[in-house]
């Protein structure tokens, strides 16, 4: 066991088990206010703890912590590298923002199953943290199950026929996905006798047998079903649109990304030998098709939340682009994109939630004139949209820049064109939504000037604004974060 400085183990333990214990407390003692304070303080503490962790990862490269003190092939390792770190930061930031929003939202809507929401959130949070740091295939399977079983009830939390049918479909997709994933794990174990990712990556990558490739493909299909990658995305838009605002923010920003994160983690880490460049190109094509299809669908929607949900489907396509492009710059670009997209999508959904609270429905046509009612909120939504579209002042642009540079450096210019197209289409559907909001059919002097009809309480307004600001701030810190993201990047062609 490599000698780790004293703070890593407690941090990782805190990240995984503290939310778990909080979940247990939430079940035992359903006091709303106390639980909200607990979740906000947990979020703050995890942010504080992440700073030294990042320092250590930066210093000593990818960290390896064997749980229970057992040497590798036997015990389950926790593996933290640039990618995992970025995801942990994203979970902590989005989690904190959503927790604050949820505390305000649950109270203002006086939701009957408020307590359930908090339990689900805590367990989801611990599941996500565990998933991002887990270094063992079967352990990843279990954490994936936790994420799914926490996400489906979150969707079902929003009462009504649409929510239930979406939750049902989501559950079945996830069920089949997890079984395929388990098949993949079984085949890998049978073929290699190994479960730990560091061990799998460390193998001298001689030509992998057919078993390993089929295992990888089974895992990929499983993850595709869970992460709603293009052909298997059917459930995501209706689920994320039907869910309540804080839930859909968590789903789109974190849960969808978790499965996609695993695709990259497995393809570029342990199973590098299992695929050839031709296969990688095909994965890239699937990603691009996802981007185009998601954007086209988003342009077609008549209601606000489906637009944002389809945008998630589209943005997930970008993650697949890392497979054909697997260089350090591409690695940084895609992770940065995942980070910015997570924050921006959460901000977008929360702002949309405020809009729906403000005007009672989310039909796009009905948004007209709400720019006068919730201008700050709309601004946050617009900025988040701009970040998703990857336009300059925001972090999205830095990510797009990196990805296109990577594509051009390796001569695969068609990915660059696809990324550009993706950005344009994203801009189109973002500005379509904003122009609906700005549209004021009746001449302005008939509508009285007022900032918000009934004051949007502070807890609801500031999370989207701060998350959008974070997405913009990421635009400035490219240089700062680049070395962090490069830790553990695959040493494929630079």
Partner 1 sequence: MPVSDLLASGFDVLLCIGLLWLAWQAITGTGLFRSVVMFMVFGLMMAVTWARLGSPDLALAEAAIGAGITGALLLNACRAAVSEMRSDEQPLRDRPSGVPKWLALPLSLAAGVGLAWLMHSIPRDGGPTPEAAIKAAETHFLDNPITSVLLDFRAIDTLLEMAVLLLALVGARVLLDQRRLPALYPVPDHPMPMLPSLLAMITPVLLLTGLYLFWAGSHAPGGAFQAGALLGALGVMYQLAGRFTPTHEPGTVNALLITVGLGLFSLFACLSLLWAPAPLSHPEQGAYALVLLIEFALMLSIAATLVLLFVGSRSLQLRRSTNHPGGRQ
Partner 2 sequence: MNIPYLAITGFVIPVLPLVVAAALFVPKLQRIALGLAPWVPLTALGLLPLHGEIIDFAWLLLGARVGIDDIALPLVLLASIAWTLAGLHGRHHLPKERRPVFYLLWLLTWTGNLCVFLTLDAASFYAAYAMMTFAAYGLVVFHRRPEDYRAGRIYLIMAVLGEAAIIASLLTMGATLGNFALEAGSPGLEEMTEQAWVIWLLLAGFGVKMGLAGLHMWLPLAHPQAPVPASAVLSGVILKGGLIGWLRFLPIEADGFQIAGMSLAALGLFTALYAVAIGLLQNRAKTVLAYSSVSQMGLISIAVGLALAFPDLAPLLVTSAVLFALHHGLAKSALFLSVDIARHSPRTARLMMWWPALALAGAPLTSGALAKVLLKSGLAEAPDLFEPAMLLSSVATTLLMIHFLRLAWPERETDSKAFARSTLPWQCSILAVIILPWLVAAWLLPEAVLRPFQPGYLAETLLPVLLGVILVLLGRRLLPTHPRPTVPEGDLIALFPRAPTLALPTLRFHSPAHVRSHLRMTLASAERWLFRLAPAILIWSGIVVVMLVLR
Partner 3 sequence: MTGWLFSVTAGLLFAIGLYGVLIRTELVRRLLAANVMATAVFLFLIVVAAETPDGPDPVPQAMVLTGIVIAVSLTAFALALIRHFRAVTGESDPEGGDDD
Q: Of 14 and 189, which CB lies nearer to partner 3 in the complex structure?
A: 189
Q: Which residue has the tokens 């992460």?
A: 227
At closest approach, how far in Å is the CB of 389 from partner 1? 33
CA distance 287 to 229: 8
Secondary structure of residue 79 in the 3-state scheme: strand
At closest approach, how far in Å is the CB of 166 from partner 3? 7
Q: Of 42 and 320, which CB lies nearer to partner 1 in the complex structure?
A: 42
- With CB under 8 A as the rule, give the number of residues binding partner 3: 27
279 binds, among partner 3, partner 2, partner 1, none (CB under 5 to 8 A by kind): partner 2
Tokens in use for 19?
A: 């939310």
Q: Which residue has the tokens 């000593």?
A: 60
Name 109's Cβ contacts closer than 8 Å, sequence gap at least 6. Answer: 244, 357
Binding of residue 232 to partner 2 (CB under 8 A): yes
**Which of these ranges, 94-102, 145-153, 242-250, 362-370, lies near partner 3 under the rule CB under 8 A?**
145-153
- The dihedral region occupied by 31, where left means phi > 0, alpha psi between -120 and 50, and beta the remainder, is beta
Binding of residue 299 to partner 3 (CB under 8 A): no
CA distance 200 to 73: 10
CA distance 264 to 467: 25
At closest approach, how far in Å is the CB of 371 from partner 1? 35
**Which of these ranges, 73-81, 225-233, 404-412, 451-459, lies near partner 2 under the rule CB under 8 A?**
225-233
Q: Of 184 and 464, which CB lies nearer to partner 2 in the complex structure?
A: 184
Helix, strand, coil share (%) of the chain residues, nearest 5 = 80, 5, 20
Name 147's Cβ contacts closer than 8 Å, sequence gap at least 6. Answer: 124, 127, 128, 131, 255, 258
**Which of these ranges, 296-304, 337-345, 453-461, 467-475, lies near partner 2 under the rule CB under 8 A?**
296-304
Q: Which residue has the tokens 């295939």?
A: 137
Binding of residue 186 to partner 2 (CB under 8 A): no
Which one of residues 73, 209, 231, 392 is an interface residue with partner 2 (CB under 8 A)? Answer: 231
Which one of residues 40, 45, 47, 67 is an interface residue with partner 1 (CB under 8 A)? Answer: 67
Kindly report the number of other CB atoms within 10 A of residue 443's CB atom: 7
Contact (CB, 8 A) for 357 and 460: yes
Binding of residue 12 to partner 1 (CB under 8 A): yes
**What stretches of 134-208 show up as alpha helix (H) in DSSP?**
137-157, 161-192, 197-202
Q: Of 105 and 235, which CB lies nearer to partner 2 in the complex structure?
A: 235
Which one of residues 96, 150, 253, 260 is an interface residue with partner 1 (CB under 8 A)? Answer: 150
Closest CA to 11 of 45, 43, 37, 44: 45
**Which of these ranges, 147-155, 358-366, 423-431, 469-477, lies near partner 3 under the rule CB under 8 A?**
147-155
Q: Which residues pair with 134 in a beta bridge?
A: 78
Secondary structure of residue 5 in the 3-state scheme: coil
Which one of residues 45, 214, 368, 421 is an interface residue with partner 1 (CB under 8 A)? Answer: 214
Binding of residue 120 to partner 1 (CB under 8 A): yes
Secondary structure of residue 451 in the 3-state scheme: coil
Closest CA to 353 of 106, 37, 152: 106
- With CB under 8 A as the rule, give the number of residues binding partner 2: 30
- Site residues for partner 2, 272-291, by CB under 8 A, read 275-276, 278-279, 282-283, 286
CA distance 365 to 303: 8
Q: Treating both helix axes as pointing N-terminal to C-terminal, what angle do 82-109 and 328-359 enclose, rounded to 10 degrees?
A: 0
CA distance 201 to 461: 45
Binding of residue 123 to partner 1 (CB under 8 A): yes
Binding of residue 7 to partner 1 (CB under 8 A): no
Tokens in use for 454?
A: 């009934």
Q: Treating both helix axes as pointing N-terminal to C-terminal, what angle do 82-109 and 114-133 enclose, rounded to 10 degrees?
A: 180
Q: Of 183 and 421, which CB lies nearer to partner 3 in the complex structure?
A: 183
Q: Of 101 and 173, which CB lies nearer to partner 3 in the complex structure?
A: 173
Binding of residue 164 to partner 3 (CB under 8 A): yes
Binding of residue 183 to partner 3 (CB under 8 A): yes
CA distance 108 to 457: 9
CA distance 317 to 462: 30
Binding of residue 152 to partner 3 (CB under 8 A): yes
Q: Of 111 and 337, which CB lies nearer to partner 1 in the complex structure?
A: 111
Binding of residue 195 to partner 1 (CB under 8 A): yes
Contact (CB, 8 A) for 375 and 461: no
Binding of residue 217 to partner 1 (CB under 8 A): no
Q: Give contact residues for partner 2 (rule: CB under 8 A).
A: 169, 172-173, 176, 213-214, 217-218, 220-221, 224-225, 231-235, 237-238, 275-276, 278-279, 282-283, 286, 293, 296-297, 300
Q: Give contact residues for partner 3 (rule: CB under 8 A).
A: 138, 142, 145, 149, 152-153, 156, 161, 164-169, 171-172, 175-176, 178-179, 182-183, 185-186, 189-190, 195
Q: Give contact residues for partner 1 (rule: CB under 8 A).
A: 1, 4, 9-10, 12-13, 16-18, 20-21, 23-24, 27-28, 30, 65-71, 73-76, 112-113, 116, 119-120, 123, 126-127, 130, 136, 138-139, 142-143, 145-146, 149-150, 152-153, 156-157, 159, 183, 187, 189-196, 199, 210-211, 214
């Amino acid at each position: 066991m490599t000698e780790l400085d004293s703070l890593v183990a407690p941090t990782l333990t805190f990240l995984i088990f503290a939310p778990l214990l909080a979940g247990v407390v939430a079940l035992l003692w359903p006091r709303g206010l106390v639980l909200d304070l607990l979740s906000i303080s947990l979020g703050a503490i995890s942010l504080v703890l992440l700073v030294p962790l990042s320092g250590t990862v930066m210093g000593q490269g990818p960290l390896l912590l064997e749980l229970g003190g057992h040497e590798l092939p036997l015990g389950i390792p926790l593996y933290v590298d640039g990618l995992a770190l970025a995801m942990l930061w994203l979970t902590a930031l989005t989690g904190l923002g959503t927790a604050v929003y949820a505390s305000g939202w649950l109270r203002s809507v006086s939701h009957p199953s408020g307590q359930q929401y908090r339990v689900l959130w805590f367990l989801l949070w611990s599941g996500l943290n565990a998933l991002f740091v887990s270094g063992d295939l079967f352990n990843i399977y279990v954490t994936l199950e936790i994420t799914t079983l926490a996400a489906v009830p979150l969707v079902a939390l929003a009462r009504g026929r649409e929510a239930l049918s979406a939750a049902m479909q989501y559950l079945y997709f996830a069920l089949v996905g997890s079984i395929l994933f388990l098949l993949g794990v079984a085949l890998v174990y049978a073929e290699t006798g190994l479960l730990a990712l560091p061990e799998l990556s460390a193998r001298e990558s001689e030509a992998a047998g057919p078993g390993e490739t089929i295992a990888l493909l089974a895992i990929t299909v499983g993850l595709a079903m869970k992460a709603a990658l293009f052909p298997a995305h059917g459930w995501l838009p209706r689920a994320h649109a039907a869910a309540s605002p804080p839930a859909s923010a968590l789903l789109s920003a974190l849960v969808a990304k978790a499965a996609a994160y695993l695709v990259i983690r497995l393809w570029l880490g342990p199973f590098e030998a299992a695929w050839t460049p031709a296969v990688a190109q095909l994965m890239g094509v699937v990603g691009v098709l996802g981007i185009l299809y998601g954007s086209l669908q988003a342009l077609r929607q008549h209601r606000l939340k489906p637009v944002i949900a389809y945008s998630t489907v589209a943005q997930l396509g970008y993650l697949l682009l890392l497979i054909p492009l697997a260089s350090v710059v591409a690695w940084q670009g895609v992770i940065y994109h995942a980070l910015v997209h997570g924050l921006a999508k959460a901000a977008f959904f929360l702002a949309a939630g405020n809009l729906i609270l403000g005007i009672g429905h989310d039909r796009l046509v009905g948004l007209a004139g709400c720019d006068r009612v919730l201008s700050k909120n709309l601004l946050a939504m617009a900025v988040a949209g701009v970040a998703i579209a990857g336009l300059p002042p925001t972090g999205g642009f830095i990510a797009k820049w990196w990805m296109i540079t990577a594509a051009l450096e390796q001569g695969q210019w068609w990915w660059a064109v696809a990324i550009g197209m993706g950005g344009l289409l994203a801009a189109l559907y973002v500005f379509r939504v904003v122009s609906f909001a700005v549209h004021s059919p009746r001449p302005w002097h008939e509508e009285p000037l007022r900032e918000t009809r009934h004051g949007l309480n502070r807890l609801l307004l500031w999370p989207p604004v701060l998350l959008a600001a974070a997405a913009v701030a990421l635009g400035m810190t490219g240089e700062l974060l680049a070395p962090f993201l490069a830790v553990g990047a695959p040493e494929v062609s630079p």
